[in-house]
Structure 1
Amino acid sequence: MSFIDHYREVFGVESICRVLAGHGLKIAPSTYYAAKARPVSARAVRDARLKTQISDVWRADFEVYGGDCRKLEAERERRERGPALVHHEGGPGPAC
């Protein structure tokens, strides 16, 4: 999705989809437009909020949590008694 977003002004969505299909990644232009029109899911909103909280905890504690994500998650839960999140997306902070 982000690849098409990045290059669509230069090449157009239809052309990009045609080239991608030629390389085995079949995506119809209508699929791209439908995905862009969908509202953001509750899961995506929650993940963004938690990702920010986890990064804040990591930075506030001098970025010392390293690879032990249990400590990082325990600290985040202490700060906000919310449910645990299995970190499934890359970004700033440790990769859990």
Structure 2
Amino acid sequence: MAQHQLISKSMLYEILQDNYASVSGEIQKLSKAFEAKYKHIDAEIEGKTSAVALRVANGIVKKNLPSAQLEAVAQANLIRNSDNALKNVNFFSPGLGATV
């Protein structure tokens, strides 16, 4: 059976501070060890990630560029044809008095 003892508020505070200091020191030590061990992995992952992202972006651009160029040419042709239709006079228009 555990023995129950009463302690003062200040003694409890001291015990908690000591415990916090020891746990805090261990956490800092583990954190530094972890950081030193895995620091190079961060740089390696960043380099690989940017290379993969660049490769994917280039693939998407190369794949979609021809269709984008065709779409641009088609759009330009539509604009040119509509502009020509608006500027050319239709001499066979009933509004101009033409009869067929």
TM range (shorter): under 0.3
**Rg comparison, structure with higher value:** 2
Larger RCO of the pair (alpha carbons < 8 Å, separation 6+): 1
TM-score (norm 1): 0.27
TM-score (norm 2): 0.26
